[in-house]
């Protein structure tokens, strides 16, 4: 992945803002409703008392789910959507990869209704540091979600509509527990590039190879380490899992071409594998035997999790990949690429992908399966999250359509909720969807 942070910031500013709709907004409305200023107070204070959330009841009555007042703007939603589709520039490391990949894509039927809108919380501001890394939202239950907001990890309860700061890395962070190999001096002003939260463990990865581990049921930080002192040190992704013994582990994918496995029972590095190119994402198979490795190479790899030896290359994408995920069956897995596609693979026949699913605007930067394996969600850099019916062969999809950069997506462990982090100066928020069931009549009792 790109490791020049200044270039990344310039790219996001130039290509990833809702500039068109902002330019078309009535200035009097913006001044009156949004404070008419880009000051630090507006950007970091969020003016919570002036922000209105959107409920499912309001959306059913016709309100825009993001609270965008289209009727008061000089451009309607349909026209702005078309403008975005025509003008959005997908970031590519290999020129024309997005265009060249389209001829292989499956034709899918849109109109699936698997998850329904519940709420848009505009007081919860999810932010992004690196434009290629979008794994900054994690749900630990159908009501509890963790996300990055500037220098803070925030916990949001959709049940109580309360947010609380779990970790602040703007200043000095040092471990309060002593473990061999932990950097007791800690870090200062860590720029968090990726995040993972599962059960009671939170792991934040940084631009300089930092790893900060916090147990959510204990005060303070449990463990700090630096994966590398290499100049190209960005922590691209973290995955938390339970080993066969029940011990909690996590893998860290790094721009120094390394994948590292940490044992959180012993707080020690247990494995370290090196690859020929920067590793952007790693996924461990449900049985713990195989790793999918994707990164700054068109081909990915399927490797043995015990020794890191390559079993086979996984070829088909045309650009660099930044997302991967195993289906719970342990047979199929998915990879997401800057060629604007997600490919589905069967590990028993990797010569050709089972399906090639396309995005609308850009790269597929995040992929998640529900724990029951029924649905798969893939997120583009902005505006679109696609939910596919896995049981019916990925032939039907639900397309969630909004405006803004996507900081991350996460299904709750019980599959009942889907959270989407939206990063935008004006309409940044946390979108919540709930799984549709046949007992929706109970809504009348709420």
Task: Give per-residue pLDDT as tens, 64-81.
Answer: 999 999 999 999 999 999
Cα distances (angstroms) measured from residue 225 to each of 49, 139, 167, 228, 243: 39, 25, 16, 9, 21
Instruction: Identify the pLDDT of residue 101.
Output: 94
444: which residues sit within 8 A by CB, 6+ positions away? none
**pLDDT greater than 80 at residue 124:** yes
Query: Mapped to the 3 state alphabet, what secondary structure does 346-363 carry?
Result: ECCECCCCCEEEECCCCC
Instruction: Using the Cα atoms of residue 215, residue 254, residue 296 and residue 133 in order, give the sign of their dihedral.
Output: positive
CA distance 423 to 406: 6
Instruction: Identify the pLDDT of residue 52.
Output: 86
Percent of the chain predicted with pLDDT > 90:
83
273: which residues sit within 8 A by CB, 6+ positions away? 258, 259, 260, 303, 307, 308
Confidence of residue 173 (pLDDT cuts 50, 70, 90): very high
Average pLDDT value for residue range 409-434? 96
Instruction: Identify the pLDDT of residue 41.
Output: 29
| Phi/psi at 306 (5° precision) | -80, -40
**pLDDT greater than 50 at residue 370:** yes
DSSP 8-state symbol, 418: E
Average pLDDT value for residue range 254-273? 95
Instruction: Identify the pLDDT of residue 230.
Output: 83
Contact assessment for residue 167 and residue 255, using Cβ atoms and an 8 Å cutoff? no
**pLDDT greater than 80 at residue 93:** yes
Average pLDDT value for residue range 5-31? 46
Instruction: Identify the pLDDT of residue 232.
Output: 85
In the chain, % helix, strand, coil (3-state, to 5) comes to 15, 40, 45
Q: What is the DSSP string of 308-355?
A: --EEEEE---SS-EEEEEE-TTSSEEEEEETTSEEEEEETTBTTS-SE
Instruction: Identify the pLDDT of residue 44.
Output: 32
**pLDDT greater than 70 at residue 29:** no
| Alpha-helix residue ranges (DSSP H) falling in 88-193 | 97-100
Tokens 């002003």 map to which residue? Answer: 189
**pLDDT greater than 70 at residue 23:** no
CA distance 245 to 86: 51
Instruction: Identify the pLDDT of residue 388.
Output: 98
3-state secondary structure of 49: helix
Around Cβ 282, how many Cβ atoms within 10 Å? 27
């Amino acid at each position: 992945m790109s490791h020049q942070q200044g270039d990344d910031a310039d790219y996001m500013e130039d290509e990833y803002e809702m500039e068109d709709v902002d330019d078309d907004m009535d200035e009097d409305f913006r001044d009156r409703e949004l404070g008419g200023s880009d000051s630090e107070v507006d950007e970091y204070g969020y003016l919570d008392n002036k922000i209105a959330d959107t409920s499912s009841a309001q959306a059913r009555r016709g309100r825009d789910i993001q609270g965008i007042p289209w009727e008061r703007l000089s451009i309607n939603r349909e026209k702005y959507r078309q403008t975005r589709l025509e003008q959005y520039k997908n970031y590519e490391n290999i020129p024309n990869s997005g265009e060249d990949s389209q001829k292989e894509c499956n034709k899918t039927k849109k109109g699936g209704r698997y998850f329904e809108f519940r709420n848009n919380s505009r007081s919860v501001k999810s932010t992004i540091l690196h434009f290629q890394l979008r794994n900054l939202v994690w749900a630990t239950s159908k009501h509890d979600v963790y996300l990055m907001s500037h220098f803070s990890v925030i916990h949001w309860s959709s049940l109580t509509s309360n947010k609380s700061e779990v970790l602040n890395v703007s200043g000095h962070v040092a471990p309060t527990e002593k473990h061999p190999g932990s950097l007791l001096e800690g870090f200062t002003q860590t720029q968090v590039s990726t995040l993972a939260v599962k059960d009671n463990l939170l792991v934040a990865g940084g631009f300089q190879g930092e790893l900060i581990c916090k147990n959510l049921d204990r005060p303070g930080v449990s463990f700090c380490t630096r994966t590398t002192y290499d100049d190209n040190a960005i922590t691209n992704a973290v995955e938390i899992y339970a080993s066969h013994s029940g011990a909690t582990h996590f893998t860290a994918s790094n721009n120094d071409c390394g994948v590292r496995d940490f044992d959180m029972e012993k707080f020690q590095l247990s494995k370290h594998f090196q690859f020929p190119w920067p590793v952007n994402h790693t996924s461990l198979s449900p049985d713990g035997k195989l790793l999918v490795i994707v990164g700054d190479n068109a081909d990915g790899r399927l490797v043995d999790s015990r020794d890191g030896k390559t079993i086979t290359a996984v070829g088909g994408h045309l650009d660099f990949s930044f997302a991967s995920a195993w289906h719970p069956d342990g047979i199929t897995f998915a990879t997401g690429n800057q060629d604007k596609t997600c490919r589905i693979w069967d590990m028993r026949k990797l010569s050709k992908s089972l399906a090639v699913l396309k995005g609308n605007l850009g790269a597929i930067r995040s992929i998640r399966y529900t724990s029951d394996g029924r649905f798969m969600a893939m997120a583009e850099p902005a505006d679109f999250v696609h939910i596919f019916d896995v049981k019916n062969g990925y032939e039907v999809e639900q397309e969630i359509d909004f405006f803004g950069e996507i900081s991350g997506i996460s299904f709750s462990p019980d599959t009942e909720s889907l959270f989407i982090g939206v990063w935008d100066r004006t309409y940044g928020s946390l979108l919540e969807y709930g799984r549709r069931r046949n007992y929706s009549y109970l809504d009348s009792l709420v």
